[in-house]
Amino acid sequence: KAGVTQTPRYLIKTRGQQVTLSCSPISGHRSVSWYQQTPGQGLQFLFEYFSETQRNKGNFPGRFSGRQFSNSRSEMNVSTLELGDSALYLCASSLDYNEQFFGPGTRLTVL
């Protein structure tokens, strides 16, 4: 079974721009969660989608948004990028309320 895939793997943007990251879950998984990992704050939960609906949300500003498509693929968007948004963004998929399987992440650098 193919694992969770994330694209792109690396991204460089400048302040004020916006970015869209993509996540393809494991086949059959309907839950997709997003996490941000930085050296200072560690791994932090952004949001979770299930069947195209946002089911849970972490404590991030409204500049961070996401969506899920009918095939369970998910995208997250960050608008008006700030230097502090530089991070590894991780996507995880799961069957409902089971262990989460993580992708390799997208490394975003904001200059």
Binding mask 36-75 for another protein (x = CB under 8 A): ------xxxx--x------xx-x-----------------
Q: Does 104 bind another protein (CB under 8 A)?
A: yes
- C-beta separation of 111 from 16 below 8 A: no
The single-letter DSSP state of residue 83 is G
Distance CA 102, CA 8 (A): 15
Q: Does 100 bind another protein (CB under 8 A)?
A: yes
Strands 10-13 and 53-57: unpaired
Residues making contact with another protein (CB under 8 A):
4, 31, 33, 35, 42-45, 48, 55-56, 58, 88, 90, 92, 97, 99-105, 107
